[in-house]
Structure 1
């Protein structure tokens, strides 16, 4: 869980503990008896060790005579959930819904800072490459197969490369040029796409060569949207960073990663080398 999500959960627990004590329940055991819960559940919620559900909030506020707080606290619970979203829950109806949620974020953003150590950033992907990634998502999370719709929605984001005055700062590790989604022909098409888009004035594409000295460990991929939001992906979940001091840390990490990157002609050379690699790979 992100630090911000944990801090929010602990703050909620402290607030609920205050409600309990103000209502005359001097111990978690007494409150557990009144609600029919396990005492351990009361303790975990109050100490930020367990998420309180919306039903839990309604019960808590009713038992402590704070019904006027229900709406506000439910909004707080939903916000905490948004800070850390399990992929299985986000993708339960397929991948298209999650892709659709990205569109408004992109529309509002003026400056993008993107880091990915292992694959090509979604907005620069070809249809074939994107489809190959979504097929893996479908298999891994065992979700409905809506690869075609999800791919179309991801490609819709590419309109922002050509609209307005947005600036795209994209950093990839050299490994991203070689991580094989879909086979040699798909990869060569994707690499050709990179050569085409890197000519866009609004796009700065940097690549960190595999042997480049680094000034910070590569870590997880992350996407920064202005100075207001960072999205970080893991195998199990995606979490949102909105707290200014945490966003500053990601901005610092991005600057340190940039110090290892090459640009322009050096990037083209790395991409051409990767194309030659896939030229010599069997296509069966």
Structure 2
């Protein structure tokens, strides 16, 4: 966890402690506040929030403000939370209502973007997935995160976003490491259909689809995936969270990474041939 993020979380905790200690009815102990807040709240949870060891949800901030007799403080607390959550968005919190809201939030970001630049090293990017492939990816992620199951709604939302590929004026610059073509995150027959879709997309006028093959000479290692939105924002995915980075230095760094990887990429017929080689090998294994 970044130092800036932790400092922001601790600053929010100090605000929460101040509200508890200045309750109009008299200062509350952590145990008294937990009892007042009711189900799911413990003295330990109060302590973790106040000491920046846990991040409160918007609903928890509202409950805290009301329980300490400071309902007017909620807006300020929420603004603090949104300020640092705009950079680090934990999967636990994002998936509390399932995958569909996450997909819709990404769609909103896509809708305001004219040029989307993607690097993916382990999966076929969502913008290019078949429904069956997406279904397996989302199901496995829900299992890992122990999040609510809304797989079919999430698949529909993801596939609907792909309409952007046919909209004039949009541009998609997508690079994939060859490993993403081999990953059996679904049955071989479904991966085969996914690879067939990729070969069919090569040459689409809104899409620049590149493949960095295993045999390529690399100037940088193929690190984790990221998405650059109009050179104004980068979203980087990790196991615990997504990082949403808006500062110019970070955007510039990820653009350099993408451009460096692009120097090793195959496009057009060469990319199709690379995908088809994987497809033929998959048929043997299937």
TM over 0.5: yes
Alignment TM class, shorter chain as reference: 0.7 to 0.9
The CA distance in 2 between the partners of 1:152 and 1:209, in whole Å, is: 31
Match of 1:257 among 242, 250, 261: 261
The CA distance in 2 between the partners of 1:2 and 1:206, in whole Å, is: 32
SS of the residue 1:90 aligns to:
helix
Establish whether residue 271 from structure 1 lines up as the match of residue 275 from structure 2: yes
Q: Is the 8 A contact 1:169 1:204 kept in 2?
A: yes
Paired position in structure 1 for 2:61: 54
Q: Is the 8 A contact 2:62 2:74 kept in 1?
A: no
Q: Is the 8 A contact 2:65 2:72 kept in 1?
A: no
Q: Is the 8 A contact 2:120 2:225 kept in 1?
A: yes
| TM-score in terms of structure 1 length | 0.79
Establish whether residue 189 from structure 1 lines up as the match of residue 193 from structure 2: yes
Deviations 1:41-82 (A, max 9, x none): 9xx9999776577369959x999xxx9876334312222123
The two structures, once aligned, show a CA RMSD in angstroms of 3.3
| Deviation (angstroms), 1:264 | 1.5
For structure 2, the residue ranges without an aligned partner over 5 or more in a row are 19-26, 32-44
Deviations 1:162-215 (A, max 9, x none): 113011000100011111132221111101111111221111111111132222
Paired position in structure 2 for 1:239: 243
Report which stretch shifted further, 123-132 or 211-220. 211-220
Match of 2:78 among 47, 50, 74: 74
The CA distance in 2 between the partners of 1:95 and 1:87, in whole Å, is: 10
SS of the residue 2:161 aligns to:
helix
- Note closer, same or farther for the CA distance 1:50–1:89 as it changes in structure 2 (3 Å cut): closer
- Note closer, same or farther for the CA distance 1:81–1:57 as it changes in structure 2 (3 Å cut): farther
* Mapping 1:1-284, distance limit 5 Å: 1=1, 5-6=5-6, 9=9, 36=29, 51=55, 54=61, 71-282=75-286
The CA distance in 2 between the partners of 1:169 and 1:111, in whole Å, is: 7
The CA distance in 2 between the partners of 1:250 and 1:62, in whole Å, is: 46
The CA distance in 1 between the partners of 2:143 and 2:77, in whole Å, is: 37
| TM-score in terms of structure 2 length | 0.79
- Note closer, same or farther for the CA distance 1:182–1:50 as it changes in structure 2 (3 Å cut): closer
The CA distance in 1 between the partners of 2:30 and 2:82, in whole Å, is: 22
Structure 1 stretches of at least 4 aligned residues deviating more than 4 Å after TM superposition = 6-14, 34-38, 44-53, 55-59, 67-70
What is the aligned length? 266
Deviations 1:6-36 (A, max 9, x none): 575578789x6xxx8xxxxxxxxxxxxx664
The CA distance in 1 between the partners of 2:77 and 2:182, in whole Å, is: 47
The CA distance in 2 between the partners of 1:170 and 1:110, in whole Å, is: 14
